[in-house]
């Protein structure tokens, strides 16, 4: 009996020691999990926020001249006109006008559809470099014209191409329409592409054709033929007159006078 009690008591002591050891080791296991919790990446969240795209801010056009090419590209439908502006370097001229002058610039921009007729006919490609420059300049006015200015502007309007009858450009307003005519082209403003205090771009659906390029120039008058001379007989053959009788009379008179002189000398008084 004593042996069984001793075994039981020894087993209880071992169990108590085992439980006490387990409880004493559990606080030390908790710090082992701390590094895993500390490895949560707040820096990774910060780097993700930096990689996000910036918010687009509208460009303040009042701080400098705007880019006409970019405006037309953004509007769309002006590829041919843009190509002509670049090839003739008129974008530099417009930039200079906007940067160096307070008068501003007005542009009548023909659409790609407006150019289709003169492209298909081969007229555009047949123009010389100088004529292409004049064509682009004819669509640019070296001052700002608002829709209100169209009602009071004096015609003809002077363009960068020049003035005078060969580059005449008129703007005529009605109640709901602004008509633009060059003498060969009659079209209207179909949209406002861009406008601010220095620049106005208006869409037109036809190319403005200046008379100086597309109208046949009057040729110098041909010299008038010489007037026919009066018939004074100068060109008709001259028939010699028969003067033999007159010669005979002269000779006879001479002989008579000579005879009288001889007789008088032979018989002096």
Residue 127 structure tokens:
């123009």
- Asked if the model's pLDDT at residue 15 lies above 90, the reply is no
- Asked if the model's pLDDT at residue 132 lies above 90, the reply is yes
Nearest residue to 200 (alpha-carbon basis) of 164, 175, 171, 235:
171
Task: State which of 29-33, 55-59, 121-125 shows the largest mean pLDDT.
Answer: 121-125
Task: State which of 5-19, 42-56, 59-73 shows the largest mean pLDDT.
Answer: 59-73
CA distance 80 to 132: 12
* pLDDT: which is higher, 85 or 32: 85
Percent of the chain at pLDDT > 70 equals 56
Q: What pLDDT, on a 0 to 100 scale, did the predictor assign at position 64?
A: 57
Q: What pLDDT, on a 0 to 100 scale, did the predictor assign at position 184?
A: 92
191: alpha, beta or left? (left if phi > 0; alpha if psi -120 to 50): beta
Beta bridge partners of 107: 140, 201
- Asked if the model's pLDDT at residue 9 lies above 70, the reply is no
Beta bridge partners of 109: 203
Q: Which residue, chain included where needed, has tokens 């559990």? A: 26
Q: Which helix (H) or strand (E) holds 115?
A: helix 112-120
Give the strand pairing for 199-204 and 105-110: parallel
Confidence of residue 166 (pLDDT cuts 50, 70, 90): confident
Beta bridge partners of 170: 181
- Asked if the model's pLDDT at residue 108 lies above 70, the reply is yes
Average pLDDT over residues 228-234: 56
CA distance 190 to 228: 62
Percent of the chain at pLDDT > 90 equals 46
CA distance 95 to 105: 9
Residue 75 structure tokens:
């509007």
Q: What pLDDT, on a 0 to 100 scale, did the predictor assign at position 69?
A: 95
Q: φ and ψ at 2, to 5 degrees?
A: -65, -35
How far, in Å, are 83, 129, 160, 177, 210 from residue 133 at the CA level? 12, 6, 10, 29, 12
The DSSP-derived string for 59-111 is --GGGS---HHHHHHHH-S-HHHHHHHHHHTHHHHHHHHHHH-SS-EEEEEE-
Cβ distance 203 to 191 under 8 Å? Answer: yes
State the chain's mean pLDDT as an integer. 75
CA distance 159 to 134: 10
């Amino acid at each position: 009996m004593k042996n069984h009690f001793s075994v039981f008591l020894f087993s209880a002591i071992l169990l108590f020691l085992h439980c006490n050891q387990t409880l004493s080791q559990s606080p030390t296991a908790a710090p082992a999990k701390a590094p895993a919790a500390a490895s949560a990446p707040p820096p990774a969240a910060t780097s993700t926020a930096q990689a996000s795209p910036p918010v687009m801010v509208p460009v303040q056009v009042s701080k400098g001249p705007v880019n006409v090419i970019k405006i037309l590209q953004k509007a769309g439908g002006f590829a041919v006109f843009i190509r002509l502006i670049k090839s003739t370097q008129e974008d530099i001229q417009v930039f200079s006008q906007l940067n160096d002058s307070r008068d501003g610039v007005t542009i009548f921009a023909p659409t790609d559809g407006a150019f289709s007729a003169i492209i298909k006919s081969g007229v555009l490609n047949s123009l010389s470099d100088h004529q292409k420059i004049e064509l682009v300049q004819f669509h640019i006015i070296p001052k700002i014209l608002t829709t209100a200015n169209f009602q009071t502007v004096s015609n003809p309007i002077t363009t960068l191409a020049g003035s005078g009858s060969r580059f005449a450009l008129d703007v005529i307003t009605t109640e709901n329409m602004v008509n633009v005519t060059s003498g060969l082209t009659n079209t209207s403003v179909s949209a406002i592409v861009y406008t601010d205090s220095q620049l106005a771009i208006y869409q037109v659906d036809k190319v403005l054709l200046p008379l100086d390029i597309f109208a046949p120039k009057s040729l110098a008058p041909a010299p008038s033929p010489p007037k026919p001379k009066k018939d004074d007989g100068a060109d008709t053959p001259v028939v010699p007159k028969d003067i033999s009788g007159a010669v005979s009379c002269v000779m006879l008179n001479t002989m008579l006078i000579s005879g009288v002189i001889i007789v008088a000398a032979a018989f002096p008084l």
